[in-house]
Amino acid sequence: MAWKSSVIMQMGRFLLLVILFLPREMTSSVLTVNGKTENYILDTTPGSQASLICAVQNHTREEELLWYREEGRVDLKSGNKINSSSVCVSSISENDNGISFTCRLGRDQSVSISVVLNVTFPPLLSGNDFQTVEEGSNVKLVCSVKANPQAQMMWYKNSSLLDLEKSHHQIQQTSESFQLSIIKVEKSDNGTYSCIAKSSLKTESLDFHLIVKALHEG
């Protein structure tokens, strides 16, 4: 038993020496952005700006930092690269929603931290608001929509919720559009169709004016 105890003690001393004399370069550096140590989502709104400050924790030497917007490298001034680096995201717009900014350690880019912009804004609607078609033809009313949070979409006709007829109306919705197709248009389809987008921020509407002409009309 004494022999076993001696062997265990010697192994313990050896492991302690190995730990004590590990190269200092192996100390793991940690990156933070605005004091956070993990990837996070930054809530913001159009027209605002955000300052992102990346810093190296536990570093044993000067560390170069790199910034990326999505996959593209951000140009940094020479005094804004070592141990701490900041980028300012100005004039934030709806198009910046979902964009990521990533800070990486220059010598080991697997060490990184990312911030994703969550730009909240009320519904933005657009489309061809006047259409003239002949009886018997098919027509599509395409309401382009952008919103964050996502909006609940509806079609109205002449200020009332559209009564959908299975063989006459078709609705298609994607993340960027809300489309009403009318099959074999009739004179009774003439009128004003409203694309309604309702979100927790605001309700917006866009009118589409449909003029149905008889076949014999010029």
Q: Could you tell me the pLDDT band of residue 214, with boundaries at 50, 70 and 90?
A: confident
Chain mean pLDDT for the chain: 88
pTM of the model: 0.77
Whether pLDDT at 101 is above 90: yes
Ordered by where they begin, the domains of the chain are: 30-119 (2.60.40.10), 122-213 (2.60.40.10)
Q: How many CA atoms lie within 13 A of 185 on its CB side?
A: 23
* C-alpha span between 174 and 46 (Å, rounded): 23
Average pLDDT of span 57-77: 93
SS3 category, 200: coil
Looking at residue 90, the DSSP 8-state letter turns out to be -
Whether pLDDT at 66 is above 60: yes
For residue 140, give both structure tokens.
């599509």
Q: What does the angle CA 86 – CA 88 – CA 93 come to, to the nearest 5 degrees?
A: 150
* C-alpha span between 103 and 85 (Å, rounded): 9
Torsion of CA 36, 37, 40, 45, to 10 degrees: 20
pLDDT computed for residue 4 by the predictor: 45
Q: How many residues does the chain have?
A: 218
**What percent of the chain is modeled with pLDDT above 70?**
86
pLDDT tens-place string over residues 131-169: 999 999 999 999 999 999 999 999 999 999 999 998 999
Q: Could you tell me the pLDDT band of residue 19, with boundaries at 50, 70 and 90?
A: very low
pLDDT computed for residue 143 by the predictor: 98
